[in-house]
Structure 1
Amino acid sequence: MGYLREYYDNIIRLQENEWQFIAAHFTRRTFRKGETIIAAGAREEYLSFIESGMVRFFVPGEENDLTFHFSFHKEFTCAYDSFLTRMPSEYTLQALSNLTLWSISHSDLQKVYAQTQAGNYLGRFAAEQLFLAKSRRELSLLKYTAKERYLQLFTEQPHILRQVPLKYVASYIGITPQGLSRIRKQIS
């Protein structure tokens, strides 16, 4: 849980008793590469911090899945809308590599919010970060061409290009793998 503590300490200085209370509500979960973390149609029960590995978010399709987000090492991840609303998720989360998570259940998170001031602050911070990422992603899809979105990955999220298979990168920027191949040839 060292990375989780480090993440929290970069945001707010926790008192040791607050950290102990928060940490006691997290459990370790592991997934193998390719394994489903939560399937579309299931309700998200956990907010998770990635100790190691990466996660792909996608809408399952009959012919092709539509990838729309990735989460990486030292980030929080979950089907957040399902987690908040307690409704089934409309998308799937999949381990893109072997994955180790530290997870807190919805009910335990409510206890942390109710009993610690730091928990409330951290929850608000995490929600704000998720909102900002979602807003940037939506604006990118509305304002830029596929080529421009691909070039943005070089400057804003180069780790995606280094770690994620190209077929998922193509889906993420809204094109086919063949379209991505053409873009890559144009810029090389």
Structure 2
Amino acid sequence: MFEKLKTFCKIIVPLTDEELKLIDTHFEIKVLNKKAFLLQDGKICNFIGFIADGTIRHFHIKDGVEKTCDISFENSWVTDFQSFTHNTSCIMNLQAMEDTTVFVIRKENLYKLYNECNKYETFGRLMAEQVAQRATEIAMSLSSDKPEERFQHLIKTQPDLFQRVPQKYIANFLGVSPESLSRIRNRVFKKLKS
């Protein structure tokens, strides 16, 4: 049932079959239809999720306008760390961009898992480091890269993004209008063809 997660975990930390079985008792499966929310602002986030299949958009609302902060695919972890660690209301929304399956571990089960097998604590630290690194990369890109450079990076790192996520959300993530994204896309593809 949780084979994708088990395979992912084994790549990061060497786990025995017995240690891998702990996943079955600590995680649960959430199946989301397209546009359904895994998390909405104002709620307290008490879980961490692993995307087994599908896509999740991370966004918040500022002055009535949605701001896309990230888009996550399979084998990615999703949560609102601020809310999760401090037990406060979150400002982040996590929404499925297509039918999505997420393996969820609640905070209390996560701590139980850490106590039962310290390898999972190591795994959790490594995953938190990856999430922090991704957040830093996004922040640096938004502050120093031109939209065209961010677009080219997306094509290189997430080529199927454009088939799976509506253009308006990609534009929002890049910090441009959908019309500007169309122009950037045309320019980049012209350069690639020549």
TM-score under structure 1 normalisation?
0.94
What is the 5 A alignment of 1:3-42?
3-42=4-43
Distance between the aligned counterparts of 1:52 and 1:62, measured in 2? Answer: 32
| Alignment partner of 1:153 is 2:164 | no
Distance between the aligned counterparts of 2:183 and 2:65, measured in 1? Answer: 19
Distance between the aligned counterparts of 2:136 and 2:93, measured in 1? Answer: 20
Asked whether the equivalents of residues 66 and 172 of structure 1 are also in contact (C-alpha less than 8 Å), the reply is yes
SS at match of 1:50: strand
Between 1:97-106 and 1:61-70, the stretch displaced more is 61-70
Q: Which residue is 1:43 aligned to?
A: 44
Asked whether the equivalents of residues 153 and 161 of structure 1 are also in contact (C-alpha less than 8 Å), the reply is no
Q: Which residue is 1:93 aligned to?
A: 94
Distance between the aligned counterparts of 2:157 and 2:75, measured in 1? Answer: 17
Q: Which residue is 1:165 aligned to?
A: 166
Percent identity, aligned pairs only, is 27
Asked whether the equivalents of residues 98 and 164 of structure 2 are also in contact (C-alpha less than 8 Å), the reply is no
CA deviation after TM superposition for structure 1 residue 174, in Å:
0.6
TM-score under structure 2 normalisation?
0.91
Asked whether the equivalents of residues 22 and 119 of structure 1 are also in contact (C-alpha less than 8 Å), the reply is no
Distance between the aligned counterparts of 1:39 and 1:184, measured in 2? Answer: 31
The total of aligned residue pairs comes to 188
- RMSD between aligned alpha carbons? 1.4
After superposition, what is the alpha-carbon deviation per residue over 1:38-92, rounded to whole angstroms, capped at 9, x for unaligned? Answer: 1111111211111111100011245531111111112221222211221111111
Q: Which residue is 2:85 aligned to?
A: 84
